[in-house]
Amino acid sequence: MAPKAAKGAKTEPAPPPDGAKPQEDKKDDKEPSEKPQKLVQPKHEVGTRKGCRRYRWELKDSNKEFWLLGHAEIKILSLGCLIAAMILLSSLSVHPILTLIITMEISIFSFFILLYSFAIHRYIPFILWPISDLFNDLFACAFLVGAVVFAVRSRQSMHLHYLLAVILIGVAGVFALIDVCLQRNHFRGKRAKKHTLVAPPGKEKEPQQGKGPEPAKPPEPAKGKK
């Protein structure tokens, strides 16, 4: 028979069964988990904004540029003059060319106001909108001045409403010319960057290491005559 264990002796703990995982330190679930830091977006650039966040930024930036540079005020004044002239001429019999020019310019000015107010041009980058607006102002000024000259020459006696309408058309043309000057100030100091379309220089191929220049082949001996 095996001898009994002495009193007071410490018994060793039984080994864990096969396949049992060692006990891991339990983490306190109440500890606050580390939250991912939010990416700080630049104020003067779109950055990585997408969806509604990008549209809100584009809308705010577009209206800020449109109103602060004076384009909005000039276009709204031109539009108001043309609408008033259209109302004055509606009660008179006038040449259809005047009605056509006024209607066309009202449509174009309204288009550009909506375009800049809702930042639609920011999502159509393949069109150079500042240059398009510049040419529109030039053509609008030319058409409206031509309409004033035609209206004066086509009538020997002018009704009061007709005279006021002609004056308003001329004022709208002056506002379009002022907008051209504002566009020039916007483009002043901006030049195209050099070498923007030049491809970057390619990397020169480095000689392979461990391989020296191939030795020159010795010349073949001349064959003697038989």
For residue 184, the model assigns a pLDDT of: 75
For residue 168, the model assigns a pLDDT of: 96
For residue 209, the model assigns a pLDDT of: 53
pLDDT tens per residue across all 226 residues of the chain? 444 554 555 555 555 555 555 555 454 444 555 555 565 555 555 556 666 777 887 888 888 888 888 889 999 999 999 999 999 999 888 889 999 999 999 999 999 999 999 988 888 989 988 899 999 999 999 999 999 999 999 888 888 999 999 999 999 999 999 999 888 766 665 554 444 444 455 554 555 555 555 656 666 665 555 4
Domain membership flag for residue 31: no
For residue 65, the model assigns a pLDDT of: 85
Domain membership flag for residue 134: yes
Distance of CA 147 to the CA centre of its chain: 36
Domain membership flag for residue 173: yes
Three-state SS for 64?
helix
Domain membership flag for residue 10: no
Domain membership flag for residue 54: no
For residue 61, the model assigns a pLDDT of: 82
Domain membership flag for residue 88: yes
For residue 194, the model assigns a pLDDT of: 47
Give phi and psi for 82, each to the nearest 5: -70, -40
Q: How far apart are CA 71 and CA 62, in angstroms?
A: 11
Domain membership flag for residue 81: yes
For residue 132, the model assigns a pLDDT of: 92
Q: Which domain holds residue 182?
A: 70-194
Domain count, the chain: 1
Amino acid identity at 166:
V
Q: How far apart are CA 151 and CA 142, in angstroms?
A: 14
Domain membership flag for residue 84: yes
- Could you tell me the CA-to-CA distances from 75 to 59, 117, 171 in Å, in that order? 18, 12, 12
For residue 8, the model assigns a pLDDT of: 52
For residue 216, the model assigns a pLDDT of: 60
